[in-house]
Every structure is written in C-alpha cells, then in structure tokens.
Amino acid sequence: MAWFAPAAHRLAHREPAAEAATVRLPWRSRAAWLLAAFLSAQSFLAYAYLAWLPPDYQARGWSSEAAGARGTVA
C-alpha cells in the first residue's frame, strides 16, 4: 500500500480541463477506421467459420464429428 499515497497525491493535483483538451476522439483518424474494419472482418470470419460452416457440412451429409473437426483436419 506504499504506492497508494504518492498515486493519490498525483491524481488529486490533476487539472481536468487541461486533460480534456488533450484527448482526441478517433472519428477522423484513418488508422482507427482501418483497425475497426480489420477487427470487424476478423470477427465476422471467425463467426462464419465457427457458427455457419459445421451446420452447412452437416446439411451436406457429413457426420457431426467430421463437421466440427473440419478446421483441424488437413
């Protein structure tokens, strides 16, 4: 708990107006939009791979074991 006193002292002496002026929202940042697009595509592909493909394979006549293990079998 020795770190708490110096940390509390530093937090108590912050100026909220100065800190708010330095914070920028990422709405106009190209890098932020590219990162958001990449993470959205990655999430969509993972969802498609884990949720859509095994039922589709089962509908094509595969066993549930083979459909679920499709990602691990070469």
pLDDT tens-digit map of 33-67 = 999 999 999 999 999 888 888 888 999 999 988 88
Those residues with Cβ within 8 angstroms of residue 2's Cβ, 6 or more apart along the chain or in another chain: none
Is 13 or 34 the better-scoring residue by pLDDT?
A: 34
Alpha carbon of residue 70 to chain centroid: 25
Compute the mean pLDDT over every residue in the chain, rounded to the nearest whole number: 79
| pTM score, whole prediction | 0.49
Instruction: Please provide the distance, in angstroms rounded to a whole number, between the alpha carbons at the two ends of the chain.
Output: 54
Name the residue among 50, 30, 32 with its Cα closest to residue 40. Answer: 32
**H or E element in which residue 51 lies:** none
pLDDT value of position 74: 41
pLDDT value of position 29: 93
